[in-house]
Structure 1
Amino acid sequence: FFEDFSRNLVNDFKPNLIKTDIHETDNEYIVEAELPGIPKEDIQVNYENGVLTISGQRQIDAATEDKKGKLIRNERSLTSVRRQYLLENVKEDEIKASYSDGILKVTLPKDSNKEIKTSIPIE
């Protein structure tokens, strides 16, 4: 009994992570995030202080009625997901996002005018 209970408990509390691929080219970052089943209007994309934030939520209402129309079961669930990514030196006013077939694609053009330090002198 306890073995099955603990197995179910652990499986039910897996974190809701957004599976993401991040590609970097010479000119831009391309972020592809899986958000299956989440309507486009329930997805938020923000970029502030070098951090890209992707969040979304999906609400499910399921009701089952018997032949007489009495409610015999009603289930609701709300799933929220959120992830943040540090992507600095981006042209904030040129970021673009699209959503198709459960995949959110965010393109962040790099800002070549911003100085990138690769080494830090030691005093």
Structure 2
Amino acid sequence: MRLKDLILWNKDNKELKENSRPLSLFDREFDRLMNGFFSDFHFPVERNETWGKTFQPSINIMENEAEIRIEAELPGLTEKDIEVNLEKNVLSISGEKRIEKKDEKENYRLIESSYGKFCRRIELPDGVNQEGIEAEFKGGLMTIRVPRIEVAKQDIKKIEVKKVE
């Protein structure tokens, strides 16, 4: 074995050698197994070259007697970039965060911004009014209100228990 066979980068062709990613076969097989395992759930498990770099909005879910409130942080997006759907009892928030402009003249040393398609799915409990769901978007924060079905308050009548002799 020659020393240049151990070097992963060749300055002449500027490409990584094929054996530079010994775990890529493992990664693909792992993805296949995990996607098969989680296929019955509402969230796919995907790993790719940008693992950890794709955009995934943070969500908060709060509830009280009247409603369930879902907040999704969607910085850099507008209401036109977002789609909210309800299928059966699953609420989906999806969209795409795009790179607006790529400056070819700039040399980047660090990129922490994340971009790409996203989809968050939330299974709603029974007892919600699906027809009354509302979504609002303001300043990068989307708020979805899911009203609960009002349960009629029953008048409770106390019945006296008499002693029989």
1:53-101 residue CA offsets vs partner (Å, 9 max, x unmatched): 1011122242548xxxxxx68xxx9611111011123211111110011
Provide the alpha-carbon RMSD of the alignment.
Answer: 2.9
Asked if the contact 1:50/1:90 (under 8 Å) is kept, the reply is no
Gaps of 5+ in 1: 3-9, 66-71, 114-123
State whether structure 2 residue 74 is matched by structure 1 residue 35. yes
Counting strand residues as a fraction of each chain, which structure ranks higher? 1
The percent of aligned pairs where both chains have the same amino acid is: 30
What is the letter of the counterpart of residue 46 of structure 1?
N
**Alignment counterpart, residue 61 of structure 2, candidates 11, 22, 33:** 22
Residue 125 of structure 2 corresponds to residue 82 of structure 1:
no
The total of aligned residue pairs comes to 97
Report the structure number with the largest CA radius of gyration: 2
For CA contacts below 8 A with separation 6 or more, give which structure has more relative contact order. 1
Q: How does 1:30-109 map to 2 (within 5 A)?
A: 30-64=69-103, 79-88=116-125, 89-109=127-147
Q: Note the C-alpha offset of 1:112.
A: 4.0
Whose helix proportion is higher, 1 or 2? 2
C-alpha change, 1:38 and 1:112, in structure 2 (3 Å) is: same
Alpha carbons 1:56, 1:81 under 8 Å: kept: yes
TM-score computed with the length of structure 2 as normaliser: 0.50
- Distance in 2 of aligned mates of 1:54 and 1:23: 16
Structure 2 residue runs of 5 or longer lacking an equivalent are 1-7, 9-47, 107-113, 152-165
Counterpart-to-counterpart distance in 2, 1:64 and 1:24: 44
TM-score, scaled relative to structure 1: 0.66
